[in-house]
Amino acid sequence: MSSFNAIVPMSCVTAAAIAAMIAEAFRAPGERMPIGPLGAIGLAGAAISSVLLWKDGASSFGVVVADKFGLFVTFILIIVGVLSLAISEPTIDRERLPRGEYYALMLFALAGMMLMATATDLLIIFLALEVLSLAVYVLTGIRRDHALASEGALKYFLLGAFSSAFFLYGIAFTYGLTGSTRLDRIGSLMAAQAMAPTPMQLLAVGLLLVGFAFKVSAVPFHMWTPDAYEAAPPAITGFMSTGVKAAAFAAFVRVFLAAFEPLRPSWSPILWIVAAATMIVGTVVGVSQSSVKRMLAYSSIAHGGYLLLALLAANDVGKAAVLFYLLTYAVTNIGAFGVISVLENTDQPNDRVRDYAGLWYTHPALAALMTIFPPMAGFIAKWYVFSAAVKRGYTGLAIIGVLTSVVSVFFYLRIIVMMYMTTTDTPARVPPIPRMAGLALIVSAILVFYLGILPTRVLDWAAASIATIF
């Protein structure tokens, strides 16, 4: 029975999702049932079981391995889940969304993300990818009476299905070459043939790279990102921008730094170009956006480029920087979208940069939170990424990252100037902030300060955890 321990965290989340579905089915019309706490209970069970697994060491259930790398990503996903549940309350009440459906889809998506982070088989990774993707597609368009939501969800679904086909073809070619979909066996066979990689091997790597690039919003597979981010409610946008990216990069690291590491000379030049293009496009196009959600979408694209840079470096600092960056990005992005979520009201989305005019004078706490979320922990995370790149010899790519980071400061300065140095006769009307949403924003701010000021311990945990898969 001890082998089942590896799937206990995702089982807790899945059980909470099923409980949310059942609760919604038995809810009387007009009855306000506390379904959200069911998700919190499931995530608490996942957190407790993950801590116990961390102390006991790696545990496996078939091709699902709860090693410290997978558990570190699971902790990130638990944080994302808890904060997302907390900031969702204003959106659910304002939009009158089906509470049980909303929470069940979010929890099923989290279960898929956890499975993706701990799977060591390409088919299981694909299965997890589809579980989380289908849930996120529906969440993107959950506001069924909004034309923009339907359009964004349809674009996301169509492009997502297209990328899934690439990924599945990559798995098929890999199986044809190696006779297995297990990452350890693929790595062994690739190492034996790495001296002269065949065109079929390169094709398999390329197809898998396309599938992963779509999920992490890498250029040129980023087209869905701004539309989907703008279409979804802010709480869902924050959830999918952080959770999906964390799960996708976890699988990306396992596949390319373990199974396909022997073919690094073949795929690293392509990844160099993709990382550079992602940082440049995400930053340059984001500067011109007037919608805060679209601006953060392009910022998310640029962050994907920085993570690709850390993955490309793949030295001791770079490997740890991937996990540390994912954690800091998750906390800051959830906090930023949490502020957007509580600023929205029924009559006005307050999504434009100009809507933040004079926010310091009307709601100083929200203005202060929006000021600290993006820069503090993000600066430290980028410092480790660029250091890893320079040590690995990717100085040119590191310079591109530094320059795009300087340009990206303009993203946030526009909002800061609008909040502190601009006044308006029609300030944004902010509805009352629910207690749980306010608490989530405070917790996010505390985590941002901790990761920005005292990052060493978390970075050590990240380094120790990622060392378990190499």
Return averaged pLDDT per consecutive 10 residues of the chain, 470 residues in all.
80 94 79 81 94 82 87 94 90 83 93 93 94 92 84 89 92 91 87 76 92 91 88 89 92 90 89 94 88 87 92 82 90 88 73 81 84 72 88 91 88 83 69 82 89 85 78
Return d(Cα 385, Cα 313) in angstroms, integer: 8
Task: Say if residues 445 and 369 touch (Cβ distance below 8 Å).
Answer: yes
Radius of gyration of the chain (CA): 21
Torsion of CA 295, 400, 204, 243, to 10 degrees: -40
Residue 119 has phi, psi (to 5 degrees) of -80, 145
In whole angstroms, what is the distance from residue 91 CA to residue 338 CA?
10
Give the type of residue at 222. H
Whether omega for the bond prior to residue 364 falls within 30 degrees of 0, making it cis, is: no
Q: Which pLDDT value is given to residue 25?
A: 83
Task: Report residue 214: phi and psi, to 5°.
Answer: -65, -45
Chain centroid, CA 220 distance in Å: 18
Q: Give the global pTM.
A: 0.93
Neighbouring C-beta atoms of residue 185, cutoff 10 Å: 15
SS3 at position 384 = helix
Q: 351 is in which domain, residue-wise?
A: 2-469
- What's the CA gap between 299 and 285, in Å, rounded? 9
- The predicted structure's pLDDT at residue 415: 84
User: What is the largest distance, in Å, between two alpha-carbon atoms of the chain?
Assistant: 70
Give the chain's domain count.
1
Closest CA to 125 of 322, 258, 8, 19: 258
